[in-house]
Amino acid sequence: MRGRVSFYAFVIPLLALFVVAIDSSHVHGQILDDFEDGNLTESPTWATSAVSGNTSDFVSDQGVLRSAGPSLSAEIWISTSGQFVTVEDHYIWEFKINYPQPPSSSNQIKIYLSSTKENLSEDVEGYYLLLGESGSNDGIDLYKTSSSDPIIVDPASSVSDGIDLSIRVTRTGDGFWKVYKDA
């Protein structure tokens, strides 16, 4: 399976400096970046949006990936290409995410587990986690881009007060998904 590891965030006003923080020490598999080198242009090469007017809407800061997007509402994204590796016929994604604000329908995070294109501003096909929605049922839901119905719905409001947790997603070779969280 070939895909992209992608982090996609909707930014609301006043959240320019700290939107998404991803601790890569929890990322395993073929794509691994600890972000310690402060370099998003090699090993691996990350593509990002640049709506802030900078060359990238993200920075690597002491091993943590952080938003450097604009202070106004905007969609920002970061992605990299890679070959997925199976472990006992499972695809595995693991990462830590910190976003202290309560998410909502206009202030949410999409984490693409795979996509057909590197530029996530384009029309892509793939799978993503959605953190944040309208109302107080803010959970961690798994979607396929071709459907408005989630594949997995978080039965708890896991992220209604903000996000600070580790997430693990697995997919078997025959397409069975599981989403785990550990606060």
Domain that holds residue 131: 2-182
Instruction: Copy the structure tokens of residue 180.
Output: 């785990």
Q: Which residues pair with 83 in a beta bridge?
A: 2
First-to-last C-alpha distance (Å) of the chain:
29
Number of domains in the chain: 1
As given in the structure block, the two tokens for residue 73 are: 């509402």
pLDDT of amino acid 179 = 92
pLDDT greater than 80 at residue 107: no
Question: How many helices, marked H, and strands, marked E, lie in the chain?
Answer: 0, 12
Average pLDDT score over residue span 119-142: 84
State the residue for tokens 């795979």: 114
pTM: 0.76
- Bridge partners of 9, per DSSP, are 76, 109
